[in-house]
Amino acid sequence: MTLATHIVIAGAITKPITSAHPALLFLVSLASHYLMDLIPHWDYKIHSIPDKHKESPDEIQWNFFDKVFWKDVTRFGIDALIGFGVLLFFLWPESWPAFFKVFLISAGSILPDFLQGVYFTRKAEFLKPIQRLHDYFHTRLRLGPYPLIGIPFQALFFILSVYFLL
């Protein structure tokens, strides 16, 4: 699932409880990531991972000096900024504490994917249990190769979430 979709879904889920403690908002948005990963969805191709490593992710070795790696990082950043921007637009925080809550909702909703990137790029063994949890919740039905199904399906979740943010 794209980062923007994770963020917008987490915003819709936490909107009724935005007055709650920031830690609760963060935890609910974190949980939403794992729950949404259960749903078959489309993921864009990560060009800095060779196809031969797709089935054995422990062999992934990213080259930080490769332009393709930085293009992927840029795409991740733009994706997250789109989701954060949509959330800011609909929740429009009028104070710094409210802005901080929107930030925590966004951060919690994409943290598992960020940690996955750290795990694979740094071979951070201490993150292995978190990666296993992420793999456990992630759907086995991958729609990446089927963009004509996956993209509209994910767009539907995005639009429904925006509706609940209204």
The answer to the question of residue 124 being in a domain is yes
Q: Which of 4, 25, 6, 5 is nearest to 98 (CA)?
A: 25
What is the per-residue pLDDT across 103-128, written as a single tens digit (0 to 9) for each? Answer: 999 999 999 999 988 887 777 889 99
What is the per-residue pLDDT across 28-80, written as a single tens digit (0 to 9) for each? Answer: 999 999 999 998 888 888 887 766 555 565 666 666 778 888 999 999 999 99
The answer to the question of residue 26 being in a domain is yes
Report long-range pairs for 52-61 (Cβ below 8 Å, ≥24 apart). Answer: 57/120, 60/120, 60/121
The answer to the question of residue 101 being in a domain is yes
Band (pLDDT 50/70/90 cuts) for residue 162 is: very high
Distance CA 123, CA 88 (A): 34
Distance CA 160, CA 26 (A): 21
The answer to the question of residue 117 being in a domain is yes
Cβ 108 vs Cβ 23: under 8 Å: no
Q: Residue 27 CB: number of other CB atoms within 10 A?
A: 15
Segments forming the whole domain that contains residue 32 = 3-44+67-165
To the nearest whole percent, how much of the chain has pLDDT over 70?
92
Q: Residue 147 CB: number of other CB atoms within 10 A?
A: 13
Cβ 8 vs Cβ 87: under 8 Å: yes
The answer to the question of residue 160 being in a domain is yes
The answer to the question of residue 51 being in a domain is no
The pLDDT value recorded for residue 52 is 54
The answer to the question of residue 55 being in a domain is no
The answer to the question of residue 140 being in a domain is yes
The number of domains in the chain is: 1
To the nearest whole percent, how much of the chain has pLDDT over 90?
64
Q: What is the pTM of this model?
A: 0.90
Band (pLDDT 50/70/90 cuts) for residue 157 is: very high
Question: Residue 95 has which token pair?
Answer: 């104070």
Cβ 62 vs Cβ 120: under 8 Å: yes
Question: What's the mean pLDDT in 148-163?
Answer: 91
The pLDDT value recorded for residue 2 is 93
